[in-house]
């Protein structure tokens, strides 16, 4: 009951533009029994609706590196009895190890939604240079290593929102992409990808060349596009084999 209430509230909020509108489109992509990864899960805005959609036969594996969002998310998830959701504190990267995450601070408050990995950031660039930040060391995992270590037999859908670090996450998911061609919902913004020296159009082109179609959510439906769209930051990629 709690899970349905939270999911319903998030979908309604998406309709009012209070949370990301793409939440309303998840049911067009995710089926009962699916296995999903929520990478950069924050407080569970996507994880809760995903857990409801996949049901008891499915699973949602959520990853959030920041202590406070992870703690709040874990407490919320502990309220409902349907244990189809696993929450791990850590960041996804191209390989397991340790990284540094920078959290911008404004007026004394951490802006958790703009936290990003800084190990690969050139000196003097990005948010770390623009204002005060707090840094924290975090464990990193790769999608491929995590899938093997946790005995996950397949992956059907991955939502990735890591402030420009998406290419590194996919670099650690090469085997998963080749074997299972999961659908991908990713934030793609030039201002974030610039931090890591990645051209967004080239990043998109590589996915299209792998056989993925690209979509954006507008007017209550997913609309196909071959290019990035002004005013859109979240894009869905669905492989032709699906």
- Cα angle 128, 134, 137 (rounded to 5 degrees) comes to 100
Residue 129 corresponds to which tokens in the numbers above? 């240079």
pLDDT given at position 238: 99
pTM (2 decimals)? 0.86
Residue 25 has pLDDT above 70, yes or no: yes
pLDDT digits (tens, 9 = 90+) for 156-203: 999 999 999 999 999 999 999 999 999 999 999 999 999 999 999 999
Q: Is residue 109 part of a domain?
A: no
Q: Is residue 139 part of a domain?
A: no
Containing domain of residue 46, as a range?
A: 1-93+144-239
Q: Which has the higher per-residue pLDDT, 130 or 20? A: 20
Q: Is residue 105 part of a domain?
A: no
Residue 141 corresponds to which tokens in the numbers above? 């995992």
Q: Is residue 103 part of a domain?
A: no
Q: Is residue 104 part of a domain?
A: no
What percent of the chain stands above pLDDT 70? Answer: 86
Q: Is residue 36 part of a domain?
A: yes
Strand 59-63 versus strand 35-39 pairing type: parallel
Q: Is residue 125 part of a domain?
A: no
Q: Dihedral angle at the C-alpha atoms of 92, 56, 78, 169, nearest 10 degrees? A: 10
Residue 34 corresponds to which tokens in the numbers above? 């699916």
pLDDT given at position 110: 83
Q: Are 100 and 117 in contact (CB under 8 A)?
A: yes
Nearest Cα residue to 37 out of 86, 75, 72: 86
Half-sphere CA count of 19, side-chain side, radius 13 A: 19
pLDDT given at position 114: 87
Q: Are 192 and 164 in contact (CB under 8 A)?
A: yes
pLDDT given at position 81: 61
Domain count, the chain: 1
Q: Is residue 111 part of a domain?
A: no
pLDDT given at position 142: 98
Dist CA 143 CA 173 (whole Å): 5
Which of 47-61, 125-139, 158-172, 208-222 shows the lowest mean pLDDT across its residues?
Answer: 125-139
Q: Are 9 and 205 in contact (CB under 8 A)?
A: no
CATH code, domain with 2: 3.40.50.150
Which of 18-27, 198-207, 227-236 shows the lowest mean pLDDT across its residues?
Answer: 18-27
Q: Which has the higher per-residue pLDDT, 78 or 61? A: 61
């Amino acid at each position: 009951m709690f899970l349905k209430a939270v999911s319903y509230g998030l979908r309604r909020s998406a309709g009012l533009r209070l949370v990301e509108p793409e939440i309303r489109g998840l049911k067009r992509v995710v089926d009962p029994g699916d296995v999903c990864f929520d990478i950069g899960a924050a407080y569970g805005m996507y994880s809760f609706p995903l857990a409801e959609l996949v049901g008891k036969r499915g699973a949602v594996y959520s990853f959030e590196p920041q202590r406070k969002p992870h703690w709040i998310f874990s407490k919320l998830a502990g309220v409902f009895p349907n244990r189809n959701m696993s929450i791990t504190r850590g960041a996804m990267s191209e390989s397991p190890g340790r990284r540094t995450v920078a959290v911008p601070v404004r007026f004394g408050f951490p802006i958790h939604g703009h936290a990003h990995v800084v190990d690969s950031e050139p000196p003097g660039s990005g948010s770390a240079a623009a204002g005060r930040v707090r840094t924290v060391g975090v464990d990193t995992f790769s999608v491929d290593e995590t899938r093997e270590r946790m005995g996950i037999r397949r992956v059907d859908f991955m939502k990735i929102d890591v402030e420009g670090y998406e290419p590194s996450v996919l670099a650690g998911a090469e085997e998963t992409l080749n074997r299972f061609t999961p659908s991908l919902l990713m934030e793609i913004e030039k201002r974030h990808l610039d931090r890591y020296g990645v051209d967004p159009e080239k990043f998109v082109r590589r996915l299209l060349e792998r056989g993925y179609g690209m979509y954006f959510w507008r007017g209550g439906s997913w609309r196909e596009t071959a290019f990035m769209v002004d005013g859109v930051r979240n894009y869905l990629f669905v492989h032709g084999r699906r």
